[in-house]
Amino acid sequence: MQVLESVELQQWLKKIEAIHPQEIELGLERISAIARSLNCLEFSCPVVSVAGTNGKGSCVELLSAFAQAHGLNVGLYTSPHLFRFNERIRINGIMVTDELLIECFQEIEKTIDGLSNPVSLSFFEYTTLATLLVFQKTALDLIILEVGLGGRLDAVNIVDADVSVISSIGLDHESWLGNTREQVAIEKAGIARSLRPVVIGDSNPPENLKPYLASIKAKAYFRNEHFFLEESAPSKLLFRFENPVVENETVLELESNKLLLSPENILTSLQAFALLCQKTSISMNASLLEQVCYQTDLIGRFQIVELVNKTDSTSTLERVIFDLTHNPAGAAFFRHQLADLEKQQGLGKVMAVFGVMKDKDIKGILAELDDVVDLWLLCTLDSERSTQSSELEKLIKQNSPDAKVLGFSNVEQAMAWALEADHGMTSLLVFGSFFTVGPSMMLMESKGLIKSF
């Protein structure tokens, strides 16, 4: 079983959660004041910030893996976490220790208490500052920061990135970012800096993005204009991207059926890494890049667990498919992946454990997947932002009155019901949130149905 945080770290995390009245409050004024006092805004190594509606998690993992393969020491910051808070802060893939985290929390608290006008930080702001302190206390060659929400007003944007990445632009968190792609694009482009590179992985960005980036004099690299993805042969893809180190284009040919992450995110990451190489004075090695592209995967991103050691031999359930999709664009890609799996080996009857936050476009998510699922197991998540299972049932029934639906008070109950009896189902989908996938995977591990993470 996963080792949880120490009691002392758990106490600190609870304390930080209780400091600020709002779970999410965008804006840089509060965190900037503390960051200046802590002197944690400048680093001796390059920094890359990655924003995006979908795909940013894949991009940061790929960039970290590319850099490590080339011998760089990499600090990586991501959010949220699946199992343990320490996952958010990693050095060369290894989670930060509880002791170093607590040391940084204490330093932040002392600094806040010493201000003439103390401010309260949100949980994400507090932990972002702790991350920056961890990275300052560590000898690093590269820092990779994943944007939590949006970009312009997100806590990580207090750091001036040497290279910025926007993986995709879609609708999510509309209450904070706006309800049009044009509004979202400007929010995400807030991480770009004048005279510094920004990589746009979206194949069809809103028309207002290019003039905005030009107005701030950012060096923009657009997909299908500066870097390209093409089919070269059956099951083979060409990745073409600009390489300023050699002042030429680099081409990498990969077998598509060996890739564990989406080719689009791999392409975006390759272009960003080529720009980072210019900042770090290393030369890209094609064989190392190929190796990373074939080996890098993400827990919870279309992760298939075949149930070969079932405790209930009478159950027809053959596989569980985890996916962290939580918006319509992600759900559409999830549907595409399921369709491919159906062609390859079949899905059979499908049930789904589904829990999602109430600020999400739930109707949009359901519109992509409601005809894929034969039985819905709806759950309320362990968060104040969770949609109640009863409300999810109402939304499903609005479009599909005959849909088969069961409601549960938490994820664990829904998963236990799905795993412990024969419901005539072949495949189980688990999706909607980190708060859905994480507890589900831990329950399966406790039952011996999945290896330790």
> Tell me: the pLDDT tens digits for 188-235?
999 999 999 999 999 999 999 999 999 999 999 999 999 999 998 889
Helix axes 286-295, 56-69, angle to 10 degrees: 140
For residue 410, the model assigns a pLDDT of: 96
In this predicted model, which residue has the larger pLDDT, 189 or 33? 189
pLDDT band at 387 (very low <50, low <70, confident <90, very high): very high
For residue 120, the model assigns a pLDDT of: 85
Of the candidates 346, 344, 354, 347, the one whose C-alpha atom is nearest the C-alpha of residue 322 is 354
Beta bridge partners of 344: none
Region 88-94 average pLDDT:
97
Taking CA 159 as the corner, what is the angle to CA 158 and CA 163, rounded to the nearest 5 degrees? 135
- String of b and e for 203-221 (b: at least 16 CB within 10 Å)? eebbeebbebbeeeebbbb
The answer on pLDDT for 1 being more than 50 is: no
DSSP 199-210: EE--SS--TTHH
In this prediction, what percent of the chain has a pLDDT beyond 70? 95
* Residue entry with tokens 């949130």: 433
Region 311-326 average pLDDT:
81
Tokens of 2: 């996963």
* Residue entry with tokens 């929390």: 105
For residue 260, the model assigns a pLDDT of: 92
The answer on pLDDT for 19 being more than 70 is: yes
The answer on pLDDT for 128 being more than 60 is: yes
CA distances to 37, 118, 127, 319, 441 from 291, in Å: 43, 49, 33, 28, 28
Region 433-445 average pLDDT:
94
pLDDT band at 170 (very low <50, low <70, confident <90, very high): confident
Of the candidates 401, 410, 354, the one whose C-alpha atom is nearest the C-alpha of residue 377 is 354
The answer on pLDDT for 98 being more than 50 is: yes
Report the Cα–Cα distance between both ends of the chain, in Å, rounded: 8
Per-residue model confidence as pLDDT tens digits over 272-283: 999 999 888 789
Q: How far apart are CA 401 and CA 114, in angstroms?
A: 59
